[in-house]
Amino acid sequence: MDVFPIIVVISFFQLVIIQKPFPHLSQTLFGVVLVVIGLFIFILGLESALFPIGEKMANEFALKGSPWWIILFGFALGFSTTIAEPALTVIASKAGGLAAGAGAIENDTNAIASFVLGLRFTVAFSVGLAIAVGVVRILKGWPLIWFIIGGYTLIVITTFFAPQEIIGIAYDSGGITTSTITVPLVTALGVGLATSIRGRNPMLDGFGLIALASLSPIIFVLGYGIFVYGVGGL
Amino acid sequence: MNFNIFELLGSALSGTLLDILPIILVLGFFQLIAIRKHIPNLKQKLIGLVLVVLGLGIFIVGLEQCVFPIGTHMARQLTDLSFLAGNDSARLEVLQNSKHIAPGLYLWTYVFAFFIGFSTTLAEPALIAVAYKARDITTGAISAWGLRIAVALGVAGGVTLGVYRIVTGNPLHYYIVTGYALLLIQTWFAPKLIIPLAYDSGGVTTSTVTVPLIAALGIGLASNVPGRSPLIDGFGLIAFASLFPMFTVMAYAMITEKRTKRKEIDEPS
C-alpha cells in the first residue's frame, strides 16, 4: 500500500513529462516485487513476534519496574532497534561509498565498512541515550520544550565546528532513524509510562520520545564527523 | 537479469540476522533477568522472528536494486540538459556551454519533488494510525484527514525547498537553523496540547520506502547539477522533510482552535 502512490507519481512523470520508456524495466519491476513482498513478510513478523513482546515488556516495566531498570531498558531498546532499522543500513552504506568516492576517507572496502559501522553505532548510541533521557523526562514530568531548545542549541553550536562533509548526513540521520521498528516500540514505552504514572497526561508526556530520538543523532553524527574528518571551520 | 539474486539474498540474510540480533538479545535479557517470566507462545514468536529476518533481507535487496536506482534515475532524467532545453537544439548548445544553470529551469524537478513528498506521506500507514489516535484524544477537534493533509503538505513543501537548495547549492544549515528559530517562535503561539504530537510528526512520517527514494533523489540531483558535490549537497532532503511537518501541524492546530473559538462567539449556547 505504501508503494502504490510512489508508482503512480513516477509512472506519470516518466511517461507524460519525460516521455521516454522506462530503462531496465524488468529489473526495476522485479525490485518493486521484492520490496512489496519483503515489506509484507517483515511487518507480518514484526507484528507476530517483536511488537507484542516489546509492548508487553514496556508496559510491565512501566507498571512495576524500578527507575534504573526502566532507564536501562529504554537505552537498550533505542540502541538495538536503531541498529536493525533498514533505511539506516541502506543510507549509511550509501554515505560510506560517497565519502570514499569524494576522497574524504580511504577508498578501500575495509575503510568504508568501518566508516559505515561507526556511523550506524553512533546513531544507535545517540538514539539509546535520547530514549533514556526521554524516560527520565517522563518520570520527572519535565516539559519537553526545554529539551528541544537545548537540543537545537547544541546542534547549532556543534555545526560550527563540524566539517562540511558530515552536515547533510547528520541532519538527515534524525529523520532516518525513527522508522518502522523504532517508532511503534518506543511509542509503546512512552505512552505506557505516561499512562501508568499518576499525574502524567499521555498526550502531553507520552509523545515526545521520538522527537528526542530525532534530535540527538544530529548532534552525535556531527561529533562523529569531527572525529573522522577533523574540525572544520565555517 | 544482470545481477545474481541468490548471492545478493544470501549476503543480505546473513547481514540482517546480525542486525536483528541486538533486539533479540535485549528482549531476551530483560525478559529473563528483569521480569523473570517465560515468554508465552514461544513457538509463534520464533516463527515471527524468522519472518522478520527473511522479510528484511528481501526488502533490503529490493531497496538497493530498485528504489535507489529509481530515485537517482529520475534525478538524472529531470536534470538532463536536453530535457531542460525542451528538444530545442539552439538552447541545448547554450546550456552545454554555460557553467551555471538558472535554478528556474529545474521547474519539473520541483513539481516532482512536491508530488512524491505529498503522495507518499498521505499513504503512510504510521501517519494514518497516529491521525486516528489524535482525533480520538481531541474528540474530533483535530480531524484525521486534516492532520494527514497538514503533514503531507509539510513533507511536500519541505522536499521541494530542499531540492531548490541542492540546485542553488546554499549551505544546508542556514535553512535548518532558520527553521529551528521559526519553529520555536511558532511553538510559543501554538495550542499546548499539540506540541509533543507536532514535534513527533516530523520523525514519524518519513518511512522506510520514502527515505531511500528521497535520499536517492537528492544524491542523484547533486551528482548531475553542475558544480554540486553529492557528499556535501546530496544529503539534507530528509532533514527538510522532518522539519516542515512540525510547522504545518502546529499551523493546522492554530487554525482549528481559532475556528472553534469563532464558532463559540457566533453561536452562544
Closest of B77, B155, B237, B58 to residue A5, by C-alpha: B155
Cell numbers at B109, concatenated: 524537478
pLDDT at A36: 86
CB contact under 8 A, A31 and B65: yes
Alpha-carbon dihedral sign for residues A209, A211, A217, A220: negative
Predicted confidence (pLDDT) per residue in A102-113, tens digit = 777 777 888 889
| Interchain CB contact of A208 with B (< 8 Å) | yes
Give the whole-angstrom CA distance, residue B210 versus residue A108.
30
Residue A16 burial class via C-beta count within 10 angstroms: exposed 0-12, middle 13-18, buried 19 and up: exposed
Query: Quick one: pLDDT at residue A18?
Result: 76
Interface with A, mutate which of B127, B132, B206, B246 (most A CBs under 10 A) = B206
Q: What is the mean pLDDT of residues B30-39?
A: 74
Per DSSP, the three-state class of B143 is coil
Q: Would you state the pLDDT for residue A78?
A: 92
Give yes or no for a contact between B254 and B195, defined as CB atoms under 8 angstroms apart: no
If contacts are CB pairs under 8 Å, which of residues 102-121 in chain A contact chain B? 102, 104
B/e letters for A143-158, b = 16+ CB within 10 Å, e = fewer, are: ebbebbeebbeebeeb
Question: B267 burial class (0-12, 13-18, 19+ CB within 10 angstroms)?
Answer: exposed
Q: Is B101 an 8 Å CB contact of chain A?
A: no
End-to-end Cα, chain B, rounded Å: 70
pLDDT of B269 above 60 = no
Per-residue pLDDT of B70-123, as tens digits, reads 888 888 888 887 777 776 777 777 777 776 777 777 888 899 999 988 988 887
Look at residue B164 and tell me whether its pLDDT is greater than 90: yes
Lowest mean pLDDT among B20-29, B129-138, B205-214: B129-138
* Interchain CB contact of B1 with A (< 8 Å): yes
pLDDT of residue A217: 94
Enumerate the residues of chain A whose CB falls inside 8 A of the CB of residue B233: 168
On whether any CB of chain B is under 8 Å from the CB of A49, the answer is yes
Neighbours of A22 (CB within 10 A): 16
Domain coordinates of chain B in residue numbers? 1-68, 79-266
Give the number of beta-carbon pairs within 8 Å between A and B: 328
- Check CB contact of B107 with chain A, cutoff 8 Å: no
Report chain A residues whose CB lies below 8 A from the CB of B60: 38, 86, 89-90
| Residues of chain B found within 8 Å of residue A43, distances taken between Cβ atoms | 55
For B3, the closest chain A residue by CA position comes to A27
- Say what the pLDDT of residue A26 is: 80
Which pLDDT score is estimated for A98? Answer: 87
CA distance B103 to B64: 30
Query: Measured between CA atoms, how close is A80 to chain B, in angstroms?
Result: 5
Spatial separation of the C-alpha atoms in residues B180 and B239, rounded to whole Å: 11
**pLDDT of res. B1:** 45
Instruction: Name the average pLDDT for chain A.
Output: 84
* Contact predicate B44/A49, CB 8 Å: yes
User: Of A82-96, B186-200, B202-216, which range is least confident?
Assistant: B202-216
Distance CA B129, CA A197 (A): 24
Task: Tell me which residues of chain A have a pLDDT lower than 70.
Answer: 1-2, 64-65, 202-203, 232-234
Vertex B156: Cα angle to B155 and B162 (nearest 5) = 85
Please identify among residues 207-246 of chain B the ones whose CB lies closer than 8 Å to any CB of chain A: 207-213, 215-216, 219, 229-239, 241-242
B220 CB-near residues (< 8 Å, 6+ apart): B71, B72, B73, B74, B75, B76, B79, B234
Q: Considering chain B, what percentage of its residues have pLDDT values greater than 70?
A: 94
Chain A positions in Cβ-Cβ contact with residue B219 (cut-off 8 Å):
94, 98
Packing angle of the helix pair B68-78, B210-224 (nearest 10 deg): 40
Q: What is the Cα–Cα distance from B235 to B219, expressed in whole angstroms?
A: 7
ipTM of the complex: 0.84
Please name the residue of chain A whose CA is at the shortest distance from the CA of residue B133: A203
The model's pLDDT over A219-233, given as tens digits with 9 standing for 90+, comes to 999 999 998 887 765
Q: Is the pLDDT of residue B3 over 60?
A: no
| Cβ-based neighbour number of residue A198 at 10 Å | 4
- Does the pLDDT at position B135 exceed 90? no
Per-residue exposure over B165-183, b if at least 16 CB sit within 10 Å of its own CB, e if not:
bbbebebbbebbeebbeeb
Hey, how many other C-beta atoms are within 10 angstroms of the C-beta on B97?
7
* CA of B264 vs chain A CAs: smallest distance (Å): 25
